[in-house]
């Protein structure tokens, strides 16, 4: 909760960060969450903020 709030505070789009509690036996939920998240991120486009430029 603190993380997502903070990331939004420093200007990240809401929804770019998400934490879910999924037990090892909830395969369906993993797939579902990943699918949702991928869709969402695809809409938001690449993250230009915290690129790692090593």
Q: Does 40 bind other proteins (CB under 8 A)?
A: no
Q: Does 6 bind other proteins (CB under 8 A)?
A: yes
* C-alpha distance from residue 37 to each of 12, 43, 49, 53 (Å): 15, 10, 19, 24
CB atoms within 10 A of CB 13: 15
Instruction: Compute the least distance from the CB of residue 7 to other proteins, in Å.
Output: 8
Q: Does 42 bind other proteins (CB under 8 A)?
A: no
Chain residues that interact with other proteins, rule: CB under 8 A = 1-14, 19-21, 31, 49-54
């Amino acid at each position: 909760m603190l993380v997502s709030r903070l990331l939004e505070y420093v200007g990240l789009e809401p929804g770019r960060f998400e934490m879910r509690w999924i037990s090892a036996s909830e395969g369906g939920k993993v797939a579902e969450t990943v699918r949702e998240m991928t869709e969402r991120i695809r809409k938001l486009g690449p993250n230009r903020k915290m690129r790692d430029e090593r």
